[in-house]
Amino acid sequence: MALFQIFDPTARPTPIGIDLGTTHSLVAYTVDGRPECVLDCDLNPLLPSVVHYLQHGGVMVGTEGKGKAALHPRETLVSVKRFMGRGADDPETRRLGPYDFAMPEPGQSNTVRFKVHGRTVTPVEVSAEILRALRTQAEGKLRTLGGAVITVPAYFDEAQRQATKDAAKLAGVEVLRLLNEPTAAALAYGLDKGRTRGTFAVYDLGGGTFDVTILSLDDGVFQVRSTGGDAQLGGDDMDRLLAEWVFGHLEIDSAQAAPGLVRAVLDAARTAKHDLTDRPDTVIAVDVDGVTFERSIRRTEFEDIVRTVIARTTPAVKRALRDAGLRPDEIDGVILVGGSTRVPAVREHVQSLFGQEPLSDIDPDQVVAFGAAIQANLLAGDGAKDDALILDVIPLSLGLETMGGVAEKILPRNTTIPAGRAQQFTTYADGQTGFEVHVVQGERELAADNRSLAKFTLRGIPLMPAGAAKLEVTFRVDADGMLTVTARELNTGIEQHIEVTPSFGLTGDDVERMLLESYEHAESDLAVRQLRERITDAERVIAATEAALRVDGDLLDEDERAELDGALKALREAIAAQDGKKVHLRTEGLDRATHPLAERRMDRAVQHAMRGRAVQEIEDTVRDRPEHPHLAASYAKDMESEKETR
Amino acid sequence: MTDPFDLLGVARRFSLDRAALEQRHRDLSRTLHPDRYVQAPPGERRMALDRAVAVNEAFRALRDPLTRAEALLTAHGLSVGDADRPSQALLLEVMDLREALDEGRRTPAKVTALLEQVRARTKSEENLLAAVFDGETPPDAAALARARDALVRLKYFRRFEDEADDALDS
């Protein structure tokens, strides 16, 4: 889907990178390969991730919206990212905060809903407002946008990723790729310093999420070795603990406090936290019913209060190192990401975990957006062979519920994406005609303890004795980390294919409806928009086909070439005639006609890659290996380092 | 599934150079990764995705000695599955190890010692696999049967190592 607006058809649209953060969001782009942030009118790159809903429709986003939080705490949504992809009954909704939540009505999907001025909004809609504001900001600077890379915490699960994509769709932002935040940061660091190899750890403590990622850089390929974290741990938790401490001194039960006071105390806590970054003490001041409460706090007191939050990052770091098969001293550099890493106690903690001073020469608030912009630029380019490449992983194991409620892992955590695997199952009862497929995500032994992503039933299996049916379930995760599951009965070929719509997410219908409801699209003529999108798609396929023919036209014989030329001509005629339906059909036709060419081009590219230096190296090393038993000794040494890396 | 050795163009052996394997994986990823096909027509994108998935799967299979041994047995026409029965001796050995782990769970030094012990056992099974698959002549039926038994033992040791690692974490 192409939704960018066209001002000057000859200008190359600028791809953008978006860091959709818990506390604030940024949009960046590249100039000659170097990243820059889009600045607002005050020359500030940070847009507070705050959306204020006005009484009679309309929103105020960013600093303006933030200014409304104290007076309108329930109508001003702060840190909405913490609620993305969460169920209405999620524990997150019961934590300290000023919001009023609505439970889903019958027939509504089980997602968090905020009550705002007598209506409800979902986190996806709130995030879409933030993305829309960023888009507007970017268009002001760059005119024509060419698709976006949006970052997500590495530890975001399927539901949270889908929610982010839905928000982009609502905001009319074309998503080139979802990119994991720590990987984005590493990309910015790796390319900035012209480094070509090394092993890095990224410690990313944001407002609401914690990620740790271990990755290695080799010849411009960033390969993630392991990732871990906590999707609900961040600077917000420090604010909350400090706010509870303030409530304690006020002798007020925070659970009974008015939403306005909760907001005010949380804000005062955050300000104090920021003050204590470079001062040994500060004063927390809150206005309570017209009386100002003041109390001084020393940094050491603050550190005692938030120690538990910082300590909660330790197990994830240790596990990530173990999963990567590395000791802390094997890490060449530790990259700090996220505003919360400004807290001195966090830095000290990181230093003690890795035994080295962390790197922070790129602004930890901007580094993720920089990486996203670099990736967007790479994706929008022509895929030159020596461009940097990211090989990321899935953060959480994906599996199925099997007999006895046990979760069987099909794709374990830290599997490189894109990934796919098929597993066979059989029926356990005679004459069983249906087979329930329950897809779960997580590391726990029992399916019930993991996150349930989807349930569907493969039906119509003919009567067979137990164990005779052969069911094959295929998991496929694309480069965005999105899962598709296919189930097939092998004897009959009965098949079901689902894009996993997480149980806590919005359905495709929900998103379509919201799209129609949003003022922007209701005003525009749907048919015109559709025609424009189809023509854009068609032109893309034409351009790609022509480029392929220029380089590898020799791979086709005369007949094949004639067929392809015919399909190209037919599609151009449909575009000239502005016939949307024909454009769509003939785009598909051209796509089909290019398959032989695409196949052979890929074969050629693979052969080329295999013929390169690597073949020689592999053959040499195999030939040079001393024979057994001496081999066993040197080999055993390899195993030692290898075993832990699996 | 296509044979992972063929797909990555590496010799069908148990011992292999890990750095070279990783290099090959990177070279193929540069060619086939979906990032390289963002601007390509949908059909070509799907095709590249399929191949990138296959390459990643092959890499995963060959990177880990356990799955590499599985791939070698499959390539020699032996079915490997959960049906492989452990021997009585293996069951007893693992049972003893489990008991020792349960008793020593609270003492990291004891768990570490058990891990070392099992890793040594793993290493000797891996040497056995290298002897079967990396000789001048292709393995005969008896050698393949020995390799399969070694693989079953490896699987049990691996499971134990995972449990011991978890015990160290908690």
Lowest mean pLDDT among A365-374, A460-469, B127-136: A460-469
Amino acid, single-letter form, for residue A105: E
Lowest mean pLDDT among A332-346, A616-630, B108-122: A616-630
Q: Is the pLDDT of residue A601 over 70?
A: yes
> Rounded to a whole number, what is the distance in Å from the CA of A54 to chain B's nearest CA?
39
Under CATH, which number does the domain B88-169 receive?
1.20.1280
| Mean pLDDT, range A409-438, rounded to an integer | 87
Nearest CB to A544: which of B27, B40, B49? B40
- CATH topology for the B4-63 domain: Helix Hairpins (1.10.287)
Q: Is the pLDDT of residue A470 over 70?
A: yes
Residues of B in contact with A613 (CB under 8 A): 23
pLDDT for position A632: 31
- What distances in angstroms separate CA A186 from CA A7, A181, A269, A555, one per listed residue? 34, 9, 31, 39
| Mean pLDDT, range A548-564, rounded to an integer | 90
Residue A618 confidence class, pLDDT cut points 50, 70, 90: very low
| Mean pLDDT, range A214-230, rounded to an integer | 91
Under CATH, which number does the domain A235-309 receive?
3.90.640.10
Q: Is the pLDDT of residue A30 over 70?
A: yes
Domain A398-506 CATH superfamily: Substrate Binding Domain Of DNAk; Chain A, domain 1 (2.60.34.10)
> Rounded to a whole number, what is the distance in Å from the CA of A629 to chain B's nearest CA?
8
Higher pLDDT, A111 or A376: A376
| Mean pLDDT, range A516-544, rounded to an integer | 75
- Measured between alpha carbons, how far is A553 from B142 in angstroms, rounded to an integer? 52
Nearest CB to B43: which of A592, A632, A635? A592
Dihedral sign of CA atoms A182, A185, A190, A191 in order: positive
pLDDT for position A42: 81
Higher pLDDT, A87 or A314: A314
Q: What pairing do the DSSP bridges indicate for beta strands A145-152 and A175-180?
A: parallel
pLDDT for position A635: 30
> Rounded to a whole number, what is the distance in Å from the CA of A110 to chain B's nearest CA?
32
Q: Is the pLDDT of residue B72 over 50?
A: yes
Residues of B in contact with A628 (CB under 8 A): 127, 130-131, 134-135
Q: What is the DSSP string of A188-209?
A: HHHHHTT--EEEEEEEEE-SS-
- Measured between alpha carbons, how far is A608 from A385 in angstroms, rounded to an integer? 11
**CB A622 to CB B63 under 8 A?**
no
| CATH 1.20.1280 location in chain B | 88-169
Residues of B in contact with A610 (CB under 8 A): 9, 24, 27-28
The pLDDT tens digits of the residues spanning B80-124 come to 765 567 888 888 998 999 998 888 888 888 888 999 999 999 999
* Chain pair A-B, CB pairs under 8 angstroms: 185
Give the bridge partners for A374, in sequence order: none
Q: Is the pLDDT of residue A491 over 90?
A: no
| CATH 1.10.287.110 location in chain B | 4-63
In degrees rounded to 5, what are phi and psi of residue A172?
70, 30
Contact A227, A213 (CB under 8 A): yes
- Secondary structure class of B68 (helix, strand, coil): helix
Strand order in the sheet with A76-78: A59-61, A50-53, A76-78
* Residue found by looking up tokens 């600045």 in the block: A39
Average pLDDT across chain A, whole number: 84
Residues of A in contact with B165 (CB under 8 A): 322
The total of other beta-carbon atoms located within 10 Å of residue A150's CB is: 28
Q: Is the pLDDT of residue A523 over 60?
A: no
Under CATH, which number does the domain A525-606 receive?
1.20.1270.10
- Measured between alpha carbons, how far is A395 from A439 in angstroms, rounded to an integer? 16
Residue A622 confidence class, pLDDT cut points 50, 70, 90: very low
- Measured between alpha carbons, how far is B41 from A602 in angstroms, rounded to an integer? 13
Q: Which residues, numbered 59 to 78 in chain B, qualify as contacts with chain A under a Cβ-Cβ cut-off of 8 Å?
A: 59-60, 63-66
- Measured between alpha carbons, how far is B93 from B99 in angstroms, rounded to an integer? 10
Residue A641 confidence class, pLDDT cut points 50, 70, 90: very low
- Measured between alpha carbons, how far is A197 from A217 in angstroms, rounded to an integer? 5
- Top-ranked range on mean pLDDT: pick from A127-136, A243-252, A257-266, A527-536: A127-136
Q: What is the DSSP string of B23-58?
A: HHHHHHHHHH-GGGGTTS-HHHHHHHHHHHHHHHHH
Nearest CB to A622: which of B11, B30, B33? B11
Residue A417 confidence class, pLDDT cut points 50, 70, 90: very high
Contact A416, A379 (CB under 8 A): no
- Measured between alpha carbons, how far is A243 from A237 in angstroms, rounded to an integer? 10
| Mean pLDDT, range B43-72, rounded to an integer | 93
Tokens coding A271: 């300000």
The pLDDT tens digits of the residues spanning A99-124 come to 888 888 877 778 899 999 988 899 99
To test the contact with chain B by mutation, choose from A602, A630, A645 the residue with the greatest count of B C-beta atoms within 10 A, namely A602
Residues of B in contact with A617 (CB under 8 A): 17, 20, 23
Lowest mean pLDDT among A303-312, A345-354, A407-416, A508-517: A508-517
**CB B29 to CB A379 under 8 A?**
no
Q: Is the pLDDT of residue A287 over 90?
A: no
| B122 at A interface, C-beta within 8 A | yes
Q: What is the pTM of this model?
A: 0.84
The question of whether A573 is a catalytic residue gets the answer no
| Nearest Cα residue to A473 out of A524, A546, A402, A406 | A402
pLDDT for position A525: 63
**CB B49 to CB A419 under 8 A?**
no
| CATH 2.60.34.10 location in chain A | 398-506
| Mean pLDDT, range A440-454, rounded to an integer | 87
The question of whether A181 is a catalytic residue gets the answer yes
Higher pLDDT, A157 or B56: B56
Q: Is the pLDDT of residue A336 over 50?
A: yes
Residue A630 confidence class, pLDDT cut points 50, 70, 90: very low
pLDDT for position A192: 63
DSSP A70: T
The question of whether A620 is a catalytic residue gets the answer no
Q: What is the DSSP string of A491-557?
A: TT--EEEEE---TTS--HHHHHHHHHHSHHHHHS-HHHHHHHHHHHHHHHHHHHHHHHHHHHGGGS-
ipTM of the complex: 0.88
The number of C-alpha atoms within 13 Å of B30 and in the hemisphere containing its C-beta is 22
Q: Is the pLDDT of residue A96 over 50?
A: yes
Residues of A in contact with B63 (CB under 8 A): 642, 645-646
- Measured between alpha carbons, how far is A478 from A321 in angstroms, rounded to an integer? 25
3-state secondary structure A295-331: EEEEHHHHHHHHHHHHHCCHHHHHHHHHHHCCCHHHC
The total of other beta-carbon atoms located within 10 Å of residue A602's CB is: 18
Q: Is the pLDDT of residue B12 over 50?
A: yes
pLDDT for position B118: 92
The question of whether A19 is a catalytic residue gets the answer yes
